Structure 1
Amino acid sequence: MARGSAGGDAPVLAVDQGTSATKALVVCPGRGVIGTGEAPVRPRHLPGGRVEVDPAELYASVLEAGRRALAAAGEPVAAVGLANQGETVLAWDQATGEPLTEAIVWQDRRAAGLCEELADQAAGLQELTGLPLDPYFAAPKMAWIRRRLTRAGVVTTSDAWLVHRLTGVFVNDASTAGRTQLLDLDRVEWSGAALDVFGLAHEDLPEVVSCDRHVGTTRAFGPELPLTGLMVDQQAALLAQRAVAAGSAKCTYGTGAFLLAQAGGRPVRPTTGLAGCVAWQLRGRTDYCLDGQVYTAASAVRWLTELGVISGPEDLDRVGSTVPDSGGVTFVPALAGLAAPWWRPQQRGSLTGLGLDTGPGHLVRALCEGIAAQVAELADAMGRDLGTGLGELRVDGGLTRSALLMQAQADLLQLPVVVAELPDATALGVATAARLGLNPHLGVTDALPPTGKPSAVYEPRMSADEAQQRRASFRRAVDNH
């Protein structure tokens, strides 16, 4: 195992366990990414808004992607970092490590009724944890498992199970724990009051640790390696985008689209419908962020693909370019409910303005505008909570390859959209945490991956008046549905 100077110059393996795939990068401080690997994940979309996945598939994908990246790099690494989906939960046996339930994915809506029961507790929970009461977060799904499936074992977010399988250790990093709605936002420790609300007071919960903690070792990828970095996916991407100054923001376009803005060293209680949460704990300091979510981005593209409108995400630009605009069609892609700033878990997607002349290109453009309009609403809300608007939007994720979507985003935001050189920002962010956990002498900015030129920059082409008209039409479609 190559360690260099306390591992400071050696590559690390960064694994991003995501919703539809697990991606792994071998990241070298001086040379950047020197090996990549990927393995698919196949969540099942079931009636009633249920989304679940076999936990064994999650673990197998971590091993497969990690081993492929190591093979591609062809040289040893000094440590491992693991990023995770955040709000995906399961029950499992702590003695054997065996799952006791399927993993309930963050998009799952089955706990909506439980949230309705607890509606009178919503304001207190948000003040305590920073998060609106919604089935998107982990605690409602954890409580649902305890009520409806099993009282056995422990019930946790998926990363705690994955880390236990890799190392035998029982931990949550602070950024992931902050996505449960069970973490006291000020104290960054489990909240007895929140646990009581959800009926989880007697649960055995993981230890909350910093994101750069050396938590244990694993032989899952071959030689024994320390696991020194843990982060939730979107906060890891925020770090990789170098959003370390208050007010800087990024949006990741993956299965969903997630806009986060750095809020500095003090927790922010949003007033606009956003979530306030832990960004990360690194080098003994807790940073906070504002968070807004679009539940369906690439998953809405997959829906169009399954309908036969397009052949896949690579087809968005070709089909969308066959028409000059959306032809008056407005698409609210709330295919898994609406998140911030509306928080309407039961809302369904809608297509309005259809005519006999509506074709595939109009639907594609309407989808791109619908995603972009939601992100623009989130950006406005962040500006109000932070007291200053965004100057630009840094973006990453697979859908940033679509020039049509990125141009729509720049137009509706009326801001430059700066596309990251590499789309896999989440893995790069957790690689940073792993380097910090390996080498106590590094500062946060010193551990960030090398920067390159953006792969693209999109400037607004649409007038401000037209952008406001398009966004007003989108808001009407949301409110009238």
Structure 2
Amino acid sequence: MTGPVLAVDQGTSGTKALVICPDRGVIGSGAAPVSPRYGSGGRVEADPAALLSSVVDAGRRALAQAGEPVAAVGLANQGETVLAWDPATGDPLTEAIVWQDRRAEPLCTELAPHAEKLTQLTGLPLDPYFAAPKMAWIRRELTREGVVTTSDAWLIHRLTGAFVTDAATAGRTQLLDLDRVTWSPEALDIFGLAEERMPEVVDVDGAVGITTAFGAPLPLTGLLVDQQAALFAQRVTEPGTAKCTYGTGAFLLAQTGPRPRRTGNGLVSCVAWRLAGRTSYCLDGQVYTAASAVRWLTDLGVISGAADLDPVGSAVPDSGGVTFVPALAGLAAPWWRGDLRGSLTGLGLDTGPGHLVRALCEGIAAQVVELTDAVAADLGAPLTSLRVDGGLTRSALLMQTQADLLQLPVEVSALPDATALGVGAVAMLGMDPSLTAEEAVPAWKPSAVYEPRISEAAAAERLAGFRAQVEALLDRTPPAAH
């Protein structure tokens, strides 16, 4: 059996690091915050130096708490966040353009005639959420210098000097040929990126270099994009199984096996991981605002933080007729209308904070139901349960609402920080190829299972109310304005 590994999850609002021992589990943890900056016109940026320092700080804190050496390190990343940087010096040439940034919307509109071709090639719909539109936007608007990549390639370069990205992260760019798992010359050309120097696409469990950022030299043996790392940790490895992570956004992924399954229902078809040269695929659906919508309510003073969701929401029996479509950064799958704004309807003089909290929980949960319905349609069979992880799973109100609207059991992971655990398992596989995935991933068990408490008819009625408000938003903002 291998020794402990350091697993680092570089996320949107912070970096979490764990020291994971195959026998004893998590023996050290550390965290460091990151503060994205939000601006007009859909601008969401982060300081690249802050991303790197958060990785180093969180990793060193976890190692200090563990108090013993590790054998390797794994790194998970945000996925669609991009920047331009100088490959000679490693210096950033732009801010990091975060996955939520919408400034490439006009570029996507311009490329709309190529949308169907791009989706067929890459599995992804044409949308500013993905990396390629942002990369092309940087080249048009900010700089032609250096290289332009996802944030993981820059972090890996700063840590080890290598110029690589893993297959799953590459699959989030809209530049990867989904079937061949190599860069697509045609997609690169469509985005005006044909002359770019692109990082090598590597397996998620390969040794890519040595880093001294955390002290003694350590091999970097695991790389995986955040949601796929959580998928791996949740043991969602068989076709037809699914998980949802509730973080800044909510992300539902369903395993589809060794062949990509093109979706007809607004989901994304992408690489789950490539382990030892073998590729697994998944279907992916996104809710852009989950914890970020909770933060919005907090900033307004309605609640003082996510810990208030349950006490404030439980003070009232229902949402009081309020419907909240929390499209605060647009609607993602299955609608793909990033231009839409959120809506609050049904307000009255008797509306209080508890009604707003319950309406938000219903709005998040209803969007996840739309995703599970799309997965079921694509797979030809309904899901039987949903495994969930992420910070917002601490809210019993949100999880019960999810089970009620989904009409399925919702199984909350007993393992917090699933993304870090997943990339830690990948790092172990990269260090010891004789290990199986089952041996590397911690045994899965739920900390709680939420069963539906309302009838199917009641769930259908509440979902119909939400869908009616989404339709009203779509009618008010026709696609021609998109």
Task: Give the structure-2-normalised TM-score.
Answer: 0.98
Q: Distance in 2 between matches of 1:450 and 1:272?
A: 33
The whole-number CA distance in structure 2 between the counterparts of 1:33 and 1:389 is 35
Aligned pairs for 1:126-145 (under 5 A) are 126-145=119-138
The match for 1:26 among 19, 35, 59 is 19
Give the match for residue 77 of structure 1.
Answer: 70
- Letter paired with 1:467: A
Match of 2:112 among 113, 119, 134: 119
Q: Is the deviation greater in 233-242 or in 469-478?
A: 469-478
**Matching residue within 447, 470, 473 for 2:462:** 470
Q: Choose from 20, 36, 41 the match for 2:34.
A: 41
Matched, 1:147 2:101: no
Q: Is the 8 A contact 2:2 2:431 kept in 1?
A: no
Equivalent residue for 2:154? 161
Within the alignment, does 1:286 sit opposite 2:274 as a pair?
A: no
Equivalents in 2 of 1:159, 1:466: separation in Å? 44
CA distance in 1, matches of 2:68, 2:382: 45
SS of 2:463's equivalent in the other structure is: helix
- 2:439 maps to what in 1? 446
Q: Distance in 1 between matches of 2:104 and 2:458?
A: 39
Q: Does residue 389 of structure 2 align to residue 396 of structure 1? A: yes
Contact 1:173 1:209 in 2 (8 A): yes
User: Per-residue deviation at 1:331?
Assistant: 0.5
Classify the secondary structure of the residue corresponding to 1:142: helix
Task: Work out the CA distance in 2 between the residues paired with 1:463 and 1:218.
Answer: 55
CA distance in 1, matches of 2:11, 2:25: 22
CA distance in 2, matches of 1:389, 1:284: 30
Distance 1:213 1:226 in 2: 10
Decide whether the 8 Å contact of 1:30 with 1:450 is kept in 2.
no
Q: Match of 1:76, SS?
A: coil
Alpha-carbon contact 1:135-1:141 (below 8 Å) kept: yes
- Structure 1 unaligned regions, length at least 5: 1-7
Q: Name the SS for the 1:437 alignment partner.
A: helix
Deviations 1:97-124 (A, max 9, x none): 0000000000010001110111111111
| SS of match in other structure, 2:446 | coil
Cα-to-partner distance string for 1:396-437 (whole Å, 9 max, x where unaligned): 000000000000000010000000012210001001110010
CA distance in 1, matches of 2:205, 2:107: 35
AA aligned to 1:465 is: A
1:334 equivalent to 2:334? Answer: no
Supply the distance in 1 between the matched residues of 2:277 and 2:88 (Cα, whole angstroms).
Answer: 31
**Distance apart, 1:444 and its partner CA:** 1.6
Deviations 1:162-220 (A, max 9, x none): 00000000001000000000000000000000001100000000000000010000000
Q: How far does residue 386 in structure 1 lie from its aligned partner after superposition?
A: 0.8
Aligned residues: 473
In structure 2, list runs of 5 or more residues that go unmatched: 474-482
Shift of 1:9: 2.8
2:167 to 160, 174, 182: 174
Q: Is the 8 A contact 2:16 2:58 kept in 1?
A: yes
Matching residue of 1:380: 373
Q: Distance in 2 between matches of 1:280 and 1:300?
A: 30
Residues 400 and 423, structure 1, Cα contact 8 Å, conserved in 2? no
SS at match of 1:14: strand
CA distance in 2, matches of 1:376, 1:73: 40
Tell me how far 1:48 sits from its aligned partner.
Answer: 1.3
Structure-2 separation of matches of 1:75 and 1:27:
11
Q: Does 1:199 align with 2:188?
A: no
Residue identity (%)? 75
Structure 2 counterpart of 1:291, which letter?
A: D
Name the counterpart of 2:297.
304
1:3 aligns with: none
State the SS of the aligned residue for 1:455. Answer: strand
| Alpha-carbon distance in structure 2 between the residues aligned to 1:112 and 1:406 | 33
Q: Is the CA contact (8 Å cut-off) linking 1:32 and 1:450 kept in structure 2?
A: no
Identify the match of residue 260 of structure 1 among 253, 266, 280: 253
Cα RMSD (Å) = 0.6
In structure 2, distance between residues paired with 1:116 and 1:284: 36
Structure 1 contact 35–69 (Cα < 8 Å) conserved: yes
In 2: Cα distance, 1:19 partner to 1:430 partner:
16
- 2:452 is paired with a residue whose SS is coil
Residues in 2 aligned to 1:94 and 1:221: alpha-carbon distance in whole angstroms: 22
- The code of the aligned residue for 1:82 comes to L
The letter for the 2-side match of 1:457 is V
| Counterparts of 1:383 and 1:206, CA distance in 2 | 35
2 CA distance for matches of 1:475 and 1:69? 44
Q: 429, 439, 452: which one pairs with 1:460? A: 452
Inter-partner Cα distance in structure 2 for 1:235 and 1:28: 21
- Confirm or deny: 8 A CA contact 2:2 2:428 kept in the other structure: no
- Distance in 2, matches of 1:178 and 1:399, equals 27
Q: Tell me by how many angstroms 1:283 deviates.
A: 2.2
* 1:272 equivalent in structure 2: 265
The ranges of structure 1 where at least 4 consecutive aligned residues each deviate by more than 2 angstroms after the TM superposition are none
- Structure-2 separation of matches of 1:455 and 1:45: 35
Q: Among 208, 222, 228, which residue is 2:221 paired with?
A: 228
In structure 2, what is the equivalent of residue 64 of structure 1?
57
